[in-house]
Amino acid sequence: MGSEVIIIPAMFLTVFGMVYYFLVTRNKERLALIEAGVDAKLFKSGSSNSMWYFVIVLGMLAIGISLGVGLGFIILHTSGGFESDYAPGAFVFSIFLFAGLSLLTSFFLIRKIRKQDGE
């Protein structure tokens, strides 16, 4: 019971610290660039579609991992559970296989979208 009381606030403080450090560092870098006379267009984040590309990648990765977990459970069910020699390895293999395939699929999907948009 005592360790949960320490771990949960520590996780939130870690995430808060990382976001705070990122924002403060980014602000200092931008101020230094402005003082050096750099154009403000530099701060634009490339294209407006970059956020949607990230969402596509995360969505495809989540689908791939869930397919891998589903196939892993099917393998475990048909092979007799974790008592089988190859079932745990096949479970982990299927998760990584489908995660990798989903990342490749999202790469080709984004490349196709960029070609259609003329980027």
Q: List pLDDT tens digits, range 37-89.
A: 877 666 665 556 677 888 899 999 999 999 999 988 888 878 776 676 776 78
Same domain, 83 and 102: yes
Segments forming the whole domain that contains residue 25: 1-43
State whether 39 and 49 are in the same domain: no
Instruction: Pull the structure tokens for residue 31.
Output: 């101020």
70 and 88 housed in the same domain: yes
Whether 11 has a pLDDT exceeding 60, the answer reads yes
Higher pLDDT, 99 or 7: 99
- Rounded CA-CA distance 84/62 in Å is 27
Asked whether residue 39 falls in the same domain as residue 50, the answer is: no
Q: Based on the domain organization, do 79 and 31 belong to the same domain?
A: no
Q: How many domains does the chain have?
A: 2
- Regarding whether 12 and 39 lie in a shared domain, the answer is yes
Q: What is the token pair recorded at 20? A: 């705070």
Average pLDDT over residues 93-103: 92
Backbone phi, psi, residue 47, to 5°: -120, 160
The answer, as to whether pTM is greater than 0.75, is: no
**In this structure, are 56 and 107 located in the same domain?**
yes
Both 19 and 56 in a single domain? Answer: no
State the chain's mean pLDDT as an integer: 83
Same-domain check for residues 101 and 51: yes
Same domain, yes or no: 50 and 37: no
- Domain match, 55 and 113 both: yes
Return the structure tokens found at 69: 């977990």
